[in-house]
Amino acid sequence: MRTLLLTLALALGLAGTAQAGTYTVTPCTGWTAFASAATLSAGGTCPGPAGQTYGGLVAAAVIGREHTARGGTAYWRLQAPPGLRIDRVLVERYLGVRVDGWVAKVVTQDGRVLERCDFTSGVRCELGVPGGPGPGNTAMYPNLDTEGIFFAVECASSGPVCHNGASLRNAWVAVYRATATISDPAPPALKLTGSVTTGGWQRGTGTAVVSASDASGIKRLRLLAGANEIARRDLPCDSARMQPCPAQADATFTVNLPDGTHQLRALATDAAGQDAATSVTLRVDRTSPAAPEVTATPAGDGAYTLTWANPASASPIVAAHYALCDEECGPAVTVRGRDIERIEGVRWTSGELRLWLEDEAGNVDREAFAALPFETGAAVVPRVVDVKPPVLTPAEQPASPRLKLTRARRSGATLRLSGTIARAAGARITVTAKRGRATVRRSTRPRRGKWALTLRLTPALRRGTLSVTVRYAGQTGLRAATVRKRVR
């Protein structure tokens, strides 16, 4: 007997299934055997040995038994999975009847006779060729739309019994090979859960749990961000089964997407090639806002108004924090407001003002601050300009502060700078790093002839060459000075 070939084929577009998916199997599962009496048998192997006349799946009258009572039946039934239908069957079979009273037949579960073989006018009946598969054994049953097919022998005698045969079988059905095309009327049921579905802004790595079920089985689970597949799971499928893939499947995927808003889609594909999809909007922001450029404007009542332009951020800026620093920084003051770019009524008389931002995702980095010295910039109390300044003699000219930038080390989002200056210097040193329109600025005071500070670089400053400017404000006896350097 030819072994049953087990292959999963492409879906076939057949009449009556235009709105459904189809898949093709040559199964060894999905068959059910039945024999109503001991004088009948339904047995065999799948796959079985080749070259045997009665090899494969066989329903027959048992040789050597005297007779079978009228109505006795034996069959092999090919059954569709629950909720599915058999569209067509291509079968290699051998049906036969040698004596009156017996019927060998192929019939659908709803009673349609596809083939019939009985003893008519004293002539034996055979459909197919003894000895196994071949062109003469092939039959096609199209447009079935049924839940099952029976390959059966039945005693349909007008008398009380049918004779079984002493040395030869008097009735038989042998199925050597059967290929079934199954119709699946619906795509999978699909569900997407996990942290990516909780809404709001995500600050870390997320999880997406994709769960699906289907009558024909789940072949594949996928996760896409926009048009890009970011994760998938292929399920094991076996074309020897009427339901070739697992009826239920789930997968937990790790989601690690860049800052921004993403359309996340989960897809499940069943054995019939039908897709189900569901989507969710995922918003990601893991980056703290960069330091803005701050301007302080006197309000006329001893207070100042702080204004700035918010840096680029995936999520909106929702709060600003500031602190006043002399030798040490005082407690931070927080002012909240969506897209806030202004704070009024800041009381400030000395030292340095530091301001940093917080976004809607909750990202905030106190080290990514803008520093505004009280004695420089817009925060300076307006000076009276002497229209006739004294003329200094050479001996009275302020000395050089000997400002130097000795080290500039850049690593990822960090730029570390250090240098030297005259030991008498105590005024503020301000460092500005710039690339194009992107700028970050910090200030410090030297100690014992040395200075150092660290800049946190914004995303726009983390690539390419930076222009670094170091400015010393100057003081009595030491003039102002500037040093510039390009840092790769």
Write down the pLDDT at residue 381: 38
Over residues 309-329, mean pLDDT: 93
**CA atoms within 13 A of residue 173's CA, in its CB half-sphere:** 29
Write down the pLDDT at residue 117: 94
Which residue has better confidence, 392 or 296?
296
Write down the pLDDT at residue 10: 27
Contacts of 14 (CB under 8 A, 6+ apart): 22, 87, 88, 142, 143, 181, 183
Write down the pLDDT at residue 393: 45
Is residue 16 scored above 70 in pLDDT?
no
For 141-150, how does the pLDDT look when each residue is reduced to its tens digit (9 = 90+)? 999 999 999 9
For 109-127, how does the pLDDT look when each residue is reduced to its tens digit (9 = 90+)? 999 999 999 988 788 999 9
**Strands, E assignment, 382-465:** 404-411, 414-420, 429-435, 438-444, 450-456
Is residue 179 scored above 50 in pLDDT?
yes
Q: What percent of the chain has pLDDT over 70?
A: 91
Q: Select from 402, 405, 396, 451 the least CA-distant residue to 428.
A: 451
Over residues 42-51, mean pLDDT: 78
For 192-224, how does the pLDDT look when each residue is reduced to its tens digit (9 = 90+)? 999 999 989 999 899 999 999 999 999 999 999
The answer to whether residues 180 and 24 touch, using CB atoms and an 8 Å cutoff, is yes
CA distance linking residue 109 with residue 107, whole number of Å: 7
Cis peptide before 133 (omega within 30 of 0): no
**Per-residue confidence band for 49, with pLDDT thresholds at 50, 70 and 90:** low
Residue 53 carries which DSSP code? Answer: T
Write down the pLDDT at residue 375: 57
Q: Select from 62, 65, 4 the least CA-distant residue to 29.
A: 4
Is residue 242 scored above 80 in pLDDT?
yes
Write down the pLDDT at residue 396: 53
Of the listed ranges 153-167, 237-251, 270-284, 387-401, the least confidently predicted one is 387-401
Q: Which two tokens stand for residue 29?
A: 């599962």
Angle at 257 between CA 253 and CA 258, to 5 degrees: 170
Which residue has better confidence, 326 or 323?
323
**Per-residue confidence band for 255, with pLDDT thresholds at 50, 70 and 90:** very high
Write down the pLDDT at residue 426: 87
3-state secondary structure of 214: coil
| Beta-strand pair 148-155/73-79 | antiparallel
The answer to whether residues 397 and 378 touch, using CB atoms and an 8 Å cutoff, is no
| Beta-strand pair 275-284/201-202 | parallel
The rounded Cα 161 to chain-centroid distance in angstroms is 65
CA distance linking residue 283 with residue 315, whole number of Å: 8
Is residue 42 scored above 60 in pLDDT?
yes
| Beta-strand pair 148-155/113-118 | unpaired
CA distance linking residue 72 with residue 60, whole number of Å: 11
For 126-140, how does the pLDDT look when each residue is reduced to its tens digit (9 = 90+)? 999 887 777 788 999
Over residues 428-441, mean pLDDT: 85
**Per-residue confidence band for 155, with pLDDT thresholds at 50, 70 and 90:** very high
The answer to whether residues 284 and 230 touch, using CB atoms and an 8 Å cutoff, is no
Which residue has better confidence, 411 or 193?
193
CA distance linking residue 126 with residue 136, whole number of Å: 11
Residue with structure tokens 């006779």? Answer: 113
Residue type, 442: R
Write down the pLDDT at residue 2: 32
Is residue 461 scored above 90 in pLDDT?
no
Is residue 9 scored above 80 in pLDDT?
no
Write down the pLDDT at residue 3: 30
CA distance linking residue 360 with residue 364, whole number of Å: 10
Write down the pLDDT at residue 6: 28
Give the N- to C-terminal CA distance of the chain in Å, as an integer. Answer: 77
**Per-residue confidence band for 389, with pLDDT thresholds at 50, 70 and 90:** very low
Q: In what order do the strands lie in the sheet with 303-308?
A: 294-298, 303-308, 342-347
For 282-303, how does the pLDDT look when each residue is reduced to its tens digit (9 = 90+)? 999 999 999 999 999 998 888 9
**Per-residue confidence band for 234, with pLDDT thresholds at 50, 70 and 90:** very high
Write down the pLDDT at residue 197: 95
